[in-house]
Structure 1
Amino acid sequence: MEKRVMLVDGMALLFRAFYATAMSNYYMINSKGVPTNAVYGMVKHLFTAARVYEPTHIVACWDMGSKTFRNDLFESYKANRSAPPEEMIPQFDLAKEVTEALNIPNVGMAGYEADDCIGTLSSHYREEAEVMILTGDQDMLQLLQPNVSVLLLKKGYGNYAEYTEDRLKEEKGITPRQLIDLKAFMGDSSDNYPGVKGIGEKTALKLLHQYESIEGILENIDSLTKGQRSKIETDLEMLHLSRDLAEIRCNAEVSHPLEEAFFDVKEERMAEKFNELEFRNWRKNLI
């Protein structure tokens, strides 16, 4: 049987599900006073994707705390992020309990982000299986390589933008590796690092099409316009730092044997957990 492993960006699914219902104050609070809207929606995303793509194996990856090696590189990394809403906080642990009840292993590592765990596992698994990364985060497109695709969640349930290396090349004219350099120039306001001030996506793409990489651009800096050269020279240190922050690590010390990720839901264990959380109509709406 051909192995098809789905690596799930747990945080991306959880936050997406939370905000989809929180906007209308629908938190699905159960009789114990615990909100469950994010976990319920996450499970729905998970089962929907499993129906569409029929993975043989599933692994869920998570952030383990807010501080990572990127904060050591740049103190202000993600410093602009506000604390999660209070209705969200109890759902982080609940989400992992639910995936466990579905026989899906949870993987995370202190000091790294879920992205780094996904990057590392995708590099391991692609040797023996087709790898699909389920996320809402476009940064994951840098992980595209032979045997690795990215499924970007779109609005609603069951809608995905499916990316391969070829599709990325068609759309943006660049490789996954060049995406990291693109982000180094553009910076990332949500992660709170600036890149090169005054160089946006359009200019950065043009330079990468012409010179291929940051190194190629720097080697030809005398060929750039005066404005481009001045901006890059002013923020040269930040350009290199931004690239370091943007790059998803594929060498984190994290592993999980593929055979232990076989997707095989035990009905009884799942029912017990869903009923404990008081998921309404879950047989009809989730599975």
Structure 2
Amino acid sequence: MMEEQRKLLIVDGMALLFRAYYANAYGGYIRRTSTGIPTNAVYGFFKYFLDAVQTFKPTHVICCWDMGSKTFRTEQYSGYKANRPEAPLELIPQFDLVKEAVASFGVPNIGFAGYEADDCIGTLAGCFGQEMQVMILTGDHDMLQLVSGQVSVIIMKKGASNYAVYTPEALLLEKGLTPQQFIDLKGLIGDTSDNYPGVKGIGEKTAVKLLLEYGSIEGILENLENLPKGVRTKISADLEMLHLCRDLARIRCDAPVACSVEDSCWNPDTDTVRSKFVELEFKGLLGELRWIGAAVS
């Protein structure tokens, strides 16, 4: 295989699994095996996973996971993600099931206690990006800060096979910001889904305007006296929170995780995968495996 053809797909496992759970639990019906084990999220996960592999044709695949809710961010700020409800009961047994099924494809499952999947993804994207093109599959717009010349972020949108692919050019064109400015944006406006506030009273419109004019939080702070009085007062009153929120928003690219190029090769054994899908009673997905052999030959 020629060097320039190598492409790594890093899958944000949590994003796909939660998305699949809620998409398939709608209306109260939960798919189960004949022995009663819930599998709706795992089934949906593989519909997404197989579609993405078929669409983007990676030569290497890795899947990253959170390893519990306690991380260095919850130590920094006790409110971090404190608004998140407990995982639904039917989803809990599926966390292990999905990893077993991912492993049946020969795909490494990677996570590290104390770090989020995002940090593992950022770290691996940085390492592999030195050798090949990297694509990150997620539904999480926080990942846009990882976009670079070697790393593109694929955001899953509503509907099957509906993706938005972000390169630095696409990001600038659509959002008007650089990847680094996305971190500063979160510092200014916070993140309701992760439950940190940013600067009280500063909305996205104002924050984007400030970043476009001054480039960064540092640029804004150096020009505080030039800002309208109301904006200046809000930022001055919340400086500590501004810096904390930017730090919470920044994906760490030095998590203690590693994976070799060889271990991440996309080369599934169809018999192993088929037997796992039969065990999980995924009859509807067995047909999806036909192209796997062709994809790796």
**Fold equivalence (TM over 0.5):** yes
Equivalent of residue 9 in structure 1, options 12, 20, 23 = 12
- Return the alpha-carbon distance in structure 1 between the equivalents of residues 175 and 288 of structure 2: 37
- Summarize the alignment of residues 228-247 of structure 1 with structure 2, pairs less than 5 Å apart: 228-247=231-250
Match of 1:26 in 2: 29
Match of 1:140 in 2: 143
Per the TM alignment, residue 161 of structure 1 is displaced from its structure 2 partner at its CA by 0.5
Match of 2:266 in 1: 263
Q: What is the TM-score normalised by the length of structure 2?
A: 0.95
Give the match's secondary structure for 2:245: helix
Aligned-pair Cα RMSD in Å: 1.0
Match of 2:293 in 1: none
Match of 1:199 in 2: 202
- Encode CA deviations 1:115-136: one digit per residue, 9 max, x unaligned: 0000000000011111000000
- Encode CA deviations 1:184-225: one digit per residue, 9 max, x unaligned: 111011111100011111000000011101011001000001
Per the TM alignment, residue 25 of structure 1 is displaced from its structure 2 partner at its CA by 2.1
Equivalent of residue 103 in structure 1, options 90, 103, 106 = 106
* 2:199–2:234 contact (8 Å) kept in structure 1: yes
- Encode CA deviations 1:135-182: one digit per residue, 9 max, x unaligned: 000000000011110000011221100100111111222110010000
Runs (5+) with no aligned partner, structure 1:
none
- Return the alpha-carbon distance in structure 2 between the equivalents of residues 114 and 165 of structure 1: 22
Match of 1:176 in 2: 179
- Return the alpha-carbon distance in structure 2 between the equivalents of residues 80 and 6 of structure 1: 31
Give the match's secondary structure for 1:185: helix
Q: 1:152 corresponds to which letter in structure 2?
A: I
- Return the alpha-carbon distance in structure 2 between the equivalents of residues 220 and 274 of structure 1: 59
Equivalent of residue 38 in structure 1, options 38, 41, 44 = 41
Q: 1:203 corresponds to which letter in structure 2?
A: T
Match of 1:279 in 2: 282
Identity of aligned residues (%): 57
Corresponding position: 1:167 with 2:173:
no
Q: 1:29 corresponds to which letter in structure 2?
A: R
* 1:188–1:195 contact (8 Å) kept in structure 2: yes
Match of 2:216 in 1: 213
- Encode CA deviations 1:9-43: one digit per residue, 9 max, x unaligned: 00000011111111122311112211101101111
* 1:44–1:286 contact (8 Å) kept in structure 2: no
Query: Would you say how many aligned residue pairs link Structure 1 and Structure 2?
Result: 287
Give the match's secondary structure for 1:150: strand
Equivalent of residue 118 in structure 2, options 115, 119, 135 = 115
- Return the alpha-carbon distance in structure 1 between the equivalents of residues 284 and 176 of structure 2: 46
- Summarize the alignment of residues 49-60 of structure 1 with structure 2, pairs less than 5 Å apart: 49-60=52-63
Q: 2:154 corresponds to which letter in structure 1?
A: L
Q: What is the TM-score normalised by the length of structure 1?
A: 0.98
- Return the alpha-carbon distance in structure 1 between the equivalents of residues 244 and 166 of structure 2: 27
* 1:6–1:57 contact (8 Å) kept in structure 2: yes
